[in-house]
Amino acid sequence: MAKTLPAVDVAIVGGGWTGAIIGKELAAANQRVVVLERGEARWPSPDFQGPNVHDELKYTRRHALHQNAASETYTFRNNIDQKALPMRRWQFAYPGTHLGGAGNHWSGAYYRFDPTDFNIRSHYTERYGAKIFDADLTSQDWPMSYDELEPYFDRFDYLIGASGQAGNLKGQKQADGNPFEPWRSRPYPNPPMKVPFAPALFGAAAKGLGYHPYVQPSALATRPYVNSEGLHMSACVYCGFCSNFGCEHFAKASPQVCILPVAMKMENFEIRTGAHVLKVELTEDKKRARGVSYVDAAGEEVFQPAEIVVMCAFSINNVRLLLLSGIGKPFDPVTNTGVVGRNYTHQTTSGVNLFFDEATNINPFMGAGAVAVTMDDFSADNFDHGPHGFVGGGYLQIQVVSGAPIGYHPTPKGTPSWGSEWKKQVKRYYNHSASITITGSAQPTRGTYLSLDPTYKDAWGLPLLRITYDFPDNDIRMSAFLTEKGDEIGRAMKGVVRTEPGPRKKPFTATSYQSTHLTGGTAIGDDPNTSVVNRYGQVWDVPNVFVAGASLFPQNSGYNPTGTVGATAYWIVEKIKADYLRSPGPLVT
Amino acid sequence: MEEKPVQGRRGILKAITLGVPGAWVTGAHAATAPAAAPGAPPSPHAMPMAGPPGDRTLKFFNANEAQAMDAISARLIPADDLGPGAKEAGVTFFMDGQLAGAWGTGDQLYRQGPFEKGTPEQGYQLSFTPAEMIRRGLASLDVATRKQDGKPFAELSAEQQDAWLQKMQAGELDFSPLPSDVFFQALLEGTIEGFFSDPMYGGNVDMVGWKLVGFPGAFASFSNDIERHGVIWAGQPVSIATAKAHNMMDGDSHG
């Protein structure tokens, strides 16, 4: 029999970016807030301090900040004719856990989605005709526009101390910025990152070919900064231990650095770690949430009553919790009905491996998660898609993420995988290689969706989330196009002696890392037949449950998700504060 | 085990420790360091944190398994004119520690059944923990080499060992129910991890893996170097055990 705790106003599932933002804002609006975090408390000091945090084995290979696959993983299949099997260890993505979630171990690559990401169906149809969409694509417009979200993007910029050079201030193009950048109301709060050698070489070659390279915006502070919450950040020192690591320097933006110290000073804000949420409990008519059930750190089942429940778990884990709770109608690809789990996508990534002459010393360990030169010439709808016959796009860049050698010891194709020749090639190329990274959009189809697995269970006996996914032909054509462009730039780069383009091919495999950008499944929209939540993140069927995070995306952009995750979290919580608290009930009827 | 310092190598290491100009910049130490003789025990001077090799206690492997692991890792990353290999780097001790610990027991591995073969895209679908797989695989290899060549793997010639490893990698050996290619891949991944991970885990002794490629290890602050394009970093690599600890607090000025 579960223990029942005193009721709170707001129960938030998950202590990452969205939980921290929404929790702090609602606490400031005099709500009694409890954030339920399944992981343990983790703080930059002492948990992420050097030298101990500079440990590739622990953080990258042994997943210290990743969801523990032993207790909860996903099952995977390429299509509905296969039987899904569990991903028994992490390879395809690194879902986060512990306080701060994936907001701790992210890279800090910081973008806003393009305006055409928000009206992809109508925009492409208007410019190219409806036939630009393959028949299998279920891409759909968001319910709100970029212009509506801009103030919230701006707010997140100043929370995280974003660094970059504005390319478009209120419609005015800016020198040295990205000419394709969507308009922004204010400059970045901090100047751009320093530029390592390989990105500089990429930028020179791209410019020479007539493209428009720029320094990638980042969520790593480039100078001492006091953020919008009055919290201090320090300058990034380009340590090269960023992606998969916590930041010791208070330089990489995270919930711990940017919000939680302020929230935790409020008497009506509580974070409860070791609280593993099992489900949202509904009233008998299933029209209202009563609160959430979780297992505490001692293994005891607890019921936490709440007036409002906000789902802020790692993106697709929100989808699983809705399915486990019986909230919303599960998507059925056979009948094409239902919504929960629909329009799941990943990120269509590819790359071009570059090998340099021995005079070109790359120093791959001098970097950071988000230190890059990027170009947007083939992102979004920045180029004429008519001749190419696909929708979407992606950016091309060289970023210097990590030279940690368990994971980074590139050798040209044809090199033996062990022995003296392997060793010789590893030594030859370690300081003389780089990779052009291509981050492409991902379109959903009827066959890309999430559901509960009928066979496999988590450590608490509940069904795992089942991923059914393969790349649509649209994305394969896009990847071929983008990767060819990348190869062209690579061949033009000074010092390059060999390029190895690797366009994305079918089938999707769960055995190679392709970003942790798992999106969709609780699409945001205006139509309850094709969305789970309305334009304010409120569940159509259960209006005192809200959903935040990347599970809202109806499809994935070619830009990294966190900027849009942060902006939509502010968008949602401001509507709750402005209207819902005064008059609880459906915000859209 | 007999302790036999490798004098030439010791001299080079001393030069680096003393900060002789150019020793690191040019990479000359690697080019001139004599190969550790195949089969020679690791230099005690290459194990500052672990004590003499004879004192290192095995927690998982028995003596036969450790010999096999030494022999395998010595072929996967050989000692040669570029410097010490995986055996000299202590990869056997690294593997021993990992397999005896949480990772070896599958603490990060989803182990609920049913176990089915699946498609290549679905990845690893066996029930073995890392510890179970390595123990079973080494036993199978021992049986196979004794049967065909009359000796355990560790006593075969380097050419014979390479031939066995190639067959294992190609999945051509019958170690059922363990596919030999899966076992080989686990050995290779463990060897690379041990060669390149922080020496505090027992491998990468004296940071030989990092020195091979020029990785600075736990040293990690490049604000002043990152825009000096193309200039080889001339500092000394450091391990977590030897790096200076620091403790930043919110609001500390930095960099």
Q: How far apart are alpha carbons A291 and A275 in whole angstroms?
A: 14
- Distance between terminal CA atoms of chain A? 38
Six token digits for residue A362: 């790359």
Structure-token match 């009694």, residue found = A32
DSSP letter (8 states) at residue A392: -
Q: How far apart are alpha carbons A566 and A152 in whole angstroms?
A: 8
pLDDT tens, A111-159?
A: 999 999 999 999 999 999 999 999 999 999 999 999 999 999 999 999 9
What's the Cα-to-Cα distance from B167 to each of A229, B143, B171, B174, B191, rounded to whole Å?
61, 15, 6, 10, 18
What's the Cα-to-Cα distance from A525 to each of A139, A372, B236, rounded to whole Å?
12, 34, 56
Q: Using a CB-CB distance cutoff of 8 angstroms, which residues of chain A are in contact with residue B221?
A: 237-239
> Chain B: nearest CA to A222, how far in angstroms?
10
Which helix (H) or strand (E) covers residue A208, if one does?
A: helix A197-208
Beta strands in A508-574 (DSSP E): 545-547
Of A78, A91, A371, the CB nearest to B123: A91
* Cβ atoms of residues A70 and B111 within 8 Å: yes
pLDDT at A448: 98
| Domain locations along chain B | 59-205
Torsion of CA A222, A227, A231, A233, to 10 degrees: 0
> Chain B: nearest CA to A481, how far in angstroms?
24
Classified as helix, coil or strand, A93 is coil
Number of C-beta neighbours around residue B37 at 10 A = 10
Torsion of CA B59, B63, B68, B72, to 10 degrees: 50
Phi, psi of B134, rounded to the nearest 5 degrees: -65, -45
The pLDDT confidence band at residue A330, using thresholds 50, 70 and 90, is very high
Six token digits for residue A256: 């711990």
CB within 8 Å: B193 and A61: yes
Strand partners, A10: A33, A308
pLDDT (average), residues A406-426: 98
Among A63, A346, A432, A517, the one annotated catalytic: A517
Average pLDDT, rounded, for chain A: 97
The CATH fold assigned to A3-580 is: FAD/NAD(P)-binding domain (3.50.50)
The pLDDT confidence band at residue A55, using thresholds 50, 70 and 90, is very high
pLDDT (average), residues A64-75: 97
pLDDT tens, A473-491?
A: 999 999 999 999 999 999 9
What's the Cα-to-Cα distance from A377 to each of A206, A209, A394, rounded to whole Å?
10, 11, 9
> Chain B: nearest CA to A557, how far in angstroms?
24
CB within 8 Å: B212 and A427: yes
Beta strand pairing status for A301-311 and A289-295?
A: antiparallel
Q: Mark which residues 28-47 of B lie under 8 Å from A by CB.
A: 30
> Chain A: nearest CA to B179, how far in angstroms?
17
**pLDDT averages per 10-residue partition of chain B, 255 residues:** 37 33 29 37 40 71 97 98 98 98 97 97 97 98 98 98 98 97 98 98 97 94 94 92 73 48
Question: DSSP string of B166-205?
Answer: HHHHTT-SEETTEEHHHHHHHHHHHHHHHHHS-GGGS-SG
> Chain B: nearest CA to A425, how far in angstroms?
10
Chosen for mutation from B24, B105, B222 (greatest number of chain A CBs closer than 10 Å) is: B222
Q: How far apart are alpha carbons A188 and A583 in whole angstroms?
A: 36
pLDDT at A468: 98
Classified as helix, coil or strand, A456 is strand
CB within 8 Å: A237 and B253: no
pLDDT at B236: 86
pLDDT (average), residues A259-272: 98
Of B108, B119, B227, the CB nearest to A194: B227
B108 touching A, CB under 8 A?
A: yes
DSSP letter (8 states) at residue A240: S
B166 touching A, CB under 8 A?
A: no
Number of C-beta neighbours around residue A297 at 10 A = 12
What's the Cα-to-Cα distance from B235 to each of A359, B27, B28, B215, B225, rounded to whole Å?
19, 12, 15, 10, 11
Give the residue from chain A lying closest to B197, CA to CA. Answer: A57
Q: Using a CB-CB distance cutoff of 8 angstroms, which residues of chain A are in contact with residue B107?
A: 68, 70
Classified as helix, coil or strand, A285 is coil
Six token digits for residue A235: 């300058």
Q: How far apart are alpha carbons A175 and A135 in whole angstroms?
A: 41
Cis amide linkage into residue B78, ω under 30° from 0: no
pLDDT at B32: 33
CB within 8 Å: A49 and B124: no
Q: Using a CB-CB distance cutoff of 8 angstroms, which residues of chain A are in contact with residue B24?
A: none
Radius of gyration of chain B (CA): 20
What is the length of chain A?
Answer: 589
Chosen for mutation from B108, B166, B204, B210 (greatest number of chain A CBs closer than 10 Å) is: B108
B246 or A551: which carries more pLDDT confidence?
Answer: A551
Give the residue from chain A lying closest to B211, CA to CA. Answer: A427
Cβ burial, residue A251 (10 Å; 0-12/13-18/19+): buried
pLDDT (average), residues A497-515: 97
Number of C-beta neighbours around residue B170 at 10 A = 11
Q: Using a CB-CB distance cutoff of 8 angstroms, which residues of chain B are in contact with residue A250?
A: 248, 250-252, 254
**Hey, CA dihedral for A67, A69, A75, A78, is it positive or negative?**
positive
CB within 8 Å: B119 and A78: yes
Of A78, A261, A365, the CB nearest to B121: A78
Q: How far apart are alpha carbons A117 and A142 in whole angstroms?
A: 8
Closest CA to B188 of A64, A87, A416, A511: A416
Of B107, B188, B222, the CB nearest to A417: B188
The pLDDT confidence band at residue A1, using thresholds 50, 70 and 90, is low
pLDDT (average), residues A196-213: 98
pLDDT (average), residues A514-543: 98
Q: Using a CB-CB distance cutoff of 8 angstroms, which residues of chain B are in contact with residue A511?
A: 120-121, 123
In total, the C-beta contacts within 8 angstroms joining chain A to chain B are 236
B3 or A505: which carries more pLDDT confidence?
Answer: A505
pLDDT at B31: 32
Proportion of chain A in helix, strand, coil states, percent, rounded to 5: 25, 25, 55
Closest CA to A397 of A203, A179, A559: A203
Give the residue from chain A lying closest to B192, CA to CA. Answer: A406
Q: Using a CB-CB distance cutoff of 8 angstroms, which residues of chain B are in contact with residue A195?
A: 226-227
Q: How far apart are alpha carbons A339 and A533 in whole angstroms?
A: 10
Q: How far apart are alpha carbons A278 and A301 in whole angstroms?
A: 9
CB within 8 Å: A194 and B124: no
Question: DSSP string of A21-48?
Answer: HHHHHHHHTT--EEEEESS----HHHHT
Strand partners, B217: B238
Predicted ipTM of the assembly: 0.96
pLDDT at B220: 79
B254 touching A, CB under 8 A?
A: yes
Number of C-beta neighbours around residue A179 at 10 A = 15
Torsion of CA A354, A355, A360, A366, to 10 degrees: 60
A123 a catalytic residue: no
Chosen for mutation from B183, B207, B213 (greatest number of chain A CBs closer than 10 Å) is: B213
CB within 8 Å: A431 and B232: yes
Q: Spell out the residues 6+ positions from residue A79 whose beta carbon is closer than 8 angstroms to its own.
A: A447, A468, A470
Chosen for mutation from B75, B105, B208, B215 (greatest number of chain A CBs closer than 10 Å) is: B215
Of A83, A86, A234, the CB nearest to B254: A234
| Domain locations along chain A | 3-580
Q: How far apart are alpha carbons A244 and B233 in whole angstroms?
A: 24
* Cβ atoms of residues A365 and A240 within 8 Å: yes
Q: How far apart are alpha carbons A164 and A153 in whole angstroms?
A: 14
Q: Using a CB-CB distance cutoff of 8 angstroms, which residues of chain A are in contact with residue B116?
A: 83, 85
Q: Spell out the residues 6+ positions from residue A106 whose beta carbon is closer than 8 angstroms to its own.
A: A96, A219, A243, A252, A369, A516, A562
pLDDT at B26: 27
